[in-house]
């Protein structure tokens, strides 16, 4: 039930964490002390990029939920006997709804 996705996601997050720890100190130059405009700009840019990514994911989840509601005639039901106990991914299961 998504074990490969979880492992892949964890690996990518770990790799991004390691790469950012290698790159980030390079933005803080000694000659720019004490304000470090390049370093502070890089931090601000990464925050903005993070917020934009989260908002894009929220929009995608809302779009996908609306699309699935239109396709699924049993959207209001809590129990879906046709797919509840099948080993389907979120892409294959039409009854799956993203929570954001």
Instruction: Give the tens place of pLDDT for each residue, 24-36.
Output: 999 999 999 999 9
Q: How much is the mean pLDDT over the chain?
A: 88
Q: Rounded distance, CA 48 to CA 38, Å? A: 15
Domain boundaries, the chain: 1-100
pLDDT of residue 74: 66
Concatenating the DSSP letter of every residue in 50-85 gives HHHHHHHHHHHHHHHHHHHHHH-TTTT-S--TTTTT
Q: How many CB atoms lie within 10 A of CB 30?
A: 6
User: Could you give the CA distance from residue 7 to residue 19 in angstroms, rounded to a whole number?
Assistant: 18
More confident residue, 43 or 2: 43
pTM metric for this prediction: 0.73
């Amino acid at each position: 039930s998504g074990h490969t996705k979880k492992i892949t996601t964890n690996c990518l997050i770990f790799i991004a964490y390691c790469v950012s720890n290698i790159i980030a100190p390079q933005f803080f130059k000694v000659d720019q002390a004490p304000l470090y405009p390049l370093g502070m700009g890089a931090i601000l840019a990464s925050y903005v990029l993070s917020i934009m990514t989260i908002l894009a994911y929220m929009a995608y989840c809302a779009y996908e939920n609306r699309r699935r509601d239109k396709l699924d005639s049993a959207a209001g039901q809590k129990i879906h006997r046709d797919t509840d106990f099948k080993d389907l991914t979120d892409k294959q299961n039409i009854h799956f709804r993203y929570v954001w």
